[in-house]
Structure 1
Amino acid sequence: MVRSVCADIAKGLGPGDYVNQESTVPPRTTTATILPILEGSGHSVGDFGDAHCPERTASGRAIIDITGAYPKIVGGVDDASTETARALYLTINKKGVIPVSDATAAESVKVFEGLYRDVNIALANELAMVCDELGVDAREVFDAANTQPYSHIHAPGCGVGGHCIPVYPYFIINTVEASTDMLKLARRINDGMPAYTVDLLEGALQEIKVGISGARVLLLGVTYRGDVNETRFSPAIDVINELKRRGAEVFAYDPVLGDEVQRFGTIPSDLGSGDGINEIDAILIASDHAEFKGIDWDLLDRRMRHKVVVDGRNILDPEELRLREYLYRAVGRL
């Protein structure tokens, strides 16, 4: 798509024009791919300007992020392009502009932000699995460790989704010769969390002498992030596929998607009315929708055949559920 857009721009590019790109791309894309296409116009750098100014936005809050959540990063193919980009974004971004040395540096900034998150989430997930084996509560341990200013252990969960974090590591893995072992390992850990979460559910069912094959599982949430209509690379989809692979019957409710949950091979249900929720053996929370923090457990209690809850997003109160005689499980939680 970036190549196609640049080819269209090149058709009308002239002296004094400036091209600004925000799409997240592998480092060196501007110099190795975009500039040659733009120079197909018959003009070269100096005749026109070009800068990479990566978007730093999250799904559902783009305007807020663009105008003032973070400083804007800008890097041009020459000094004049960087200055043009700086002047442009100073009129838009309330947090200011950070010029970097060139377009490749600007491309790297955005990709590295995502890599940092992926690697640190993987660390949190691995430490949470260690906590499961040690019999200690990951939230308690992480919260205490994070009182040290240079400790920033992230929250564990059932996986990493969206169109950014699961993809950006490959922008580096597939384009550089330097070692990327840590990036690859982080991807393996995070990609493995949906299956680990299903392992927790299967283990909980086994504790009450119920097999996962034939079990009726209610999945709460399919989007990768709470209250956002985005399912790309959602770990919930991998959870669904793993549950079905093990023989479970999967019902699903997502307040954002509604009946669209059928697209993922699940049976639509309604958490508010209880429609489609009967004789459920286990509940698995896969998205952190705000609605799920206020679940009507009185309604669900009447719809459960067995009372098992696996909290893949660590948003529920374990003590409340235990008082209701649920068998509660979550990544790294006691």
Structure 2
Amino acid sequence: MFRVAVLSRWHPHESRYTPELLAAPDCQVSCVWDIEEERGRAWAKEIHVPFVKDLEQIWRDAQVDGVVVTAPTTMHKEIILAAANAGKHVFVEKSLALTAKDAQDIQKAIESNSVVFTIAYIRCTTGPFMFAKTVKDSGILGDITMVRVRNGHNQGLNGVLPDYWFDPAQTGGGAMTDLGCHQMYLLDWMFGTPSTVNAMYSYYTSRAVEDSGVVTALYNDGKTLAIMDSSFTTYYSPYTFELYGTQGTLLVRLDQNGVEVHLPKDAQPWFASKYEGYVNKEIFGDRARYFVAGKALPDAPSPLRSWIDACTKGAPVLFDINSAVRLARMVECANIAHRTEQQCRF
């Protein structure tokens, strides 16, 4: 039995991970800890596990094999350093840190203590995005000249997000620093590291952190322009991922439950041989439009499940400390670019 301590109910994604742990037959939630004792005790009572007030007790506890870190982003470094030095495996919500230096310090602790580390890149296991990477890697779209990823919601307007979500002392930033991580790690997964980064943020609600932001970056030696945008203040924003190539286009909208691909019509035999479940929707001259239904694009096991398997079965670590360090650097570059109103070299 793999025994896990969940560290804080601060991040909204805790509600994604704890139920998954509780439902896993090979896992046990040993205890929980929170920065707010009252919230932590209520949470522990709700899921019928002990509440631990002092993190040192968890570090000393041989009955805890690993920790899930959903604490404030600004506390990640101190928590993960202590966890790694205590020999606990680590699963962490993004972003790992707010600077590359802090992320590299964490990396040293992870590697020197030989603990298994995974970061929660949930969109890299989402079926449509996995399909997009497969199509992109096949080369059928030609050279990718532009990519755009958008993720937004209205929870900065409707009171769903707690007040502390807009406190830079806890979050380190706003819409781009947290929600924008999804866009950043998706592009890292598909294109590697950028050469240069630009950013612009807005503050519609006049809070201390940005509630909307746009980051642009150049990949592939400047041949691929990427646009990443996030917002807490949009009434409705479908999660979109768009790849524009010299020989084809791929469009993902998660609310449409599928992926749209535009290719020359003579590519149909190749496309049909590779991808079951596609529908040839329309043909416009030499261009054919295909739609691959979501039911043909299942999700992979979650990052949390992959972490558990890596810890208990020696399975490969999919989203490792190196990728987490790169994300921290990307977040840092975006914040520097916005603050200085200048391009930041990665």
Report the TM-score, using the length of structure 2 for normalisation.
Answer: 0.31
- Which is higher, the Rg of structure 1 or of structure 2? 1
Is the strand fraction higher in 1 or 2?
2
Q: Which has the higher contact order (CA 8 A, sep 6+)?
A: 2
